[in-house]
Amino acid sequence: MTRRALALVFSIITLLVVPGLAQNGSSKLYRSVLRIEVATQTPDYETPWNSGRFGGGIGTGFLIGKNQILTNAHVVSNQQRILITVHGSPEKYPAKVEYIAHDCDLALLSLEDFSDFEDFPVFPIGEIPLLESQVTVIGYPVGGDRLSVTKGIVSRIDFQPYSHSRADSHLVVQIDAAINPGNSGGPVLQDGKVVGVAFQGLRQADNTGYIIPTPVVKRFIKDISDGSYDHYAELGINEFPLHNPAMRKALGLEDNGQGVLITNVVPTTSADGVLQPGDVLISLDGNPVDSDGQVLVDGEKVNLNEIVERKYAGDKVAIRFLRNGSWNDVEVTLKPLPASRMYAVQYEKKPRYVVFAGLVFQPLDTNLFATSKFKDVTVRRLFTDYVSKGIFQEKKDIVILTQIEPDPVTSQIDNFTGLAVEKINGIPVTDLQQAHELLYTENPPEFHIIELYGANRPVIIPSAKVDEANQRVQRNYGISSLSNLED
């Protein structure tokens, strides 16, 4: 279909689908709301050597620049093929992911051939909508193939978890319009400008949806402007509200509703070596922190982390805090905390593993935890304390013995699955790569001795029987490779 025919089709569809909007100048922008069809392949952490589960889904995206289509990360996660469709046209246009940010659920796509879209308008990015103001949500929700337009009122602006990664919280805007599957990634408009991206609904309530507001969108766009996505910086503190009058008095604070108690500083983070437990955080960049850990931003009270959220690695933040009755003013340089991704769901990555004579070893992360549902207290503690207590400084991976495939070599080994590996051949295990090197060493000992946290005896494998066991296990269980060590 030619560009002229495509434009004509879209103009007619806009008149049919959005009556009344055709007289509005902003109606031309609706040509640039695109349907995204995705084929996916989800990794299998239970049998990590397998290719995984195939599936697919539908989402929405919209043009924000020349060959730049903004959508949600969860729309295109684990993608194998992406096809873009213009409403009313049978043609499907192949597309690819240019940048993806799972921590803020945004992605930027491009078309392999943009020529048919050259004269399509792009959406300008606006500001955060005000409470009680009306917004328009556009997308392709399930239940039909046509473009859908709904309206809603902004009912809340808050700092809340994003469901896609399960580990990140950012600014969100709540509206009283349902965000259904398929709507995800669609533009939310006000006065002809994008004020957010539709991304998740609330299952427990009717007509409640959430949108990613423009500060998060603008930060993503700026972050990728240098050709890579660098993730969010972290201050690295945990705080406790200071409402109790007696506690405030003991800390030397006035009864003015300001200040929160710092309860933990994560090792190696931006605040490490500057702040410490027991300090009272008073302000960030001159913005007073109230006793509930809130700051006033854009006329709304939100979590204090919003100050850091709008900055980038290498930026500085001014901190005012009280320690032992003395006031302190410092600047810290912000940096990311890669270890925190332990708690985030991983996408576009094949599971890492090592198979050794029927023993299957995997590094602990949220994907594996959700699959295996570990019950061992030590494993749960290692997972919970991995970042807050700085375990990541000693162990890049928490290596778990996840499975024991039946084989003559492993016939007398049981009750060890789901435990964390402490040592191999007397050497503390720090990551999966090292575990592989210890197990597949050029000069193996007569017996491989594998010590597990919480086990009353080690797992012992005769080195002379490993090669034959590996061959049987690969043949019997369809294991194409005995390891995958790449992230």
β pairing state of 419-424 and 359-363: unpaired
Give the rounded distance of the alpha carbon of 75 from its chain centre: 13
Q: Is 89 a catalytic residue?
A: no
Give the rounded distance of the alpha carbon of 291 from its chain centre: 29
77, 87, 102, 105: which one is catalytic? 105
Q: Is 105 a catalytic residue?
A: yes
Q: DSSP readout, 1-67?
A: --HHHHHHHHHHHHHHHSTTGGGSGGGGGGGGEEEEEEEEEE--SSSTTS--EEEEEEEEEEEEETT
74, 87, 164, 170: which one is catalytic? 74
Alpha carbons 207 and 327: distance in angstroms, whole number: 48
- The DSSP letter of residue 234 is B
Q: Is 74 a catalytic residue?
A: yes
- The DSSP letter of residue 181 is T
Nearest to 293 by CA among 321, 257, 264, 328: 257
148, 184, 340, 483: which one is catalytic? 184
For 165, half-sphere exposure in the C-beta direction (CA atoms, 13 angstrom radius) is 22
CA 239, 242, 246, 248 dihedral sign is positive
Alpha carbons 373 and 367: distance in angstroms, whole number: 10
Nearest to 323 by CA among 274, 370, 359: 274
Alpha carbons 171 and 444: distance in angstroms, whole number: 53
Residues with Cβ within 8 Å of 434's Cβ and at least 6 positions away in sequence, in order, are none
Alpha carbons 330 and 316: distance in angstroms, whole number: 10
- Catalytic center residues: 74, 105, 184
